[in-house]
A = this chain, B = another copy of it.
């Protein structure tokens, strides 16, 4: 029964993929998306370039794996939020906070998920999926709020896109400005305030 051996093999495989993943993140952090070269990843992972190709068919697959791996916990958090037992406005705030915090931690992700260019088709598709997943969850939150009469009757999908884009804009601006720390509590609250209550003064 080669099961044990097979299991070991699988574990090894996972470990290697993880090591390469970490190396990729390191390179991404140091050189940016354009500077992501396979030889740099190999060096960072302390393996040869050839080894990279034993675990990932090509650069695209590696990138896709990075995308999936990085986004998975964020997505899980999003799902936790939507299933949580709080009001839609609170869910929205939790969502915004989670998103901004995540992007703060993984700047290089921003580029991949939010940009469209410089990415090959498979990556673009992969990134689109992540973005759409997030959109959908955000849209669901909004939909809940509308249904409960807590939000005005906006189109959930479109509104999700707007809010998502707004957050992207915020992150991008901070990145361009090299303004560390990226996102702070005040950003989040102002962001929420705008979307909740709008610009208008009333009464």
Contacts and interface: CB of A to CB of B under 8 A. Distances in A.
A202 interface: yes
Interface in A126-181: 128, 131, 135, 142, 145, 149-152, 154-155, 158-159, 161-173, 175-176
A185 interface: no
Contacts of A135: 173
A154 B128 CA distance: 32
Given A162-B166, A166-B163, A169-B165, A150 B201 contact: yes
Number of copies: 4
Secondary structure type dominating chain A contacts = helix
Interface of A: 32-34, 89, 92, 111, 114-119, 128, 131, 135, 142, 145, 149-152, 154-155, 158-159, 161-173, 175-176, 187, 190-191, 193-202
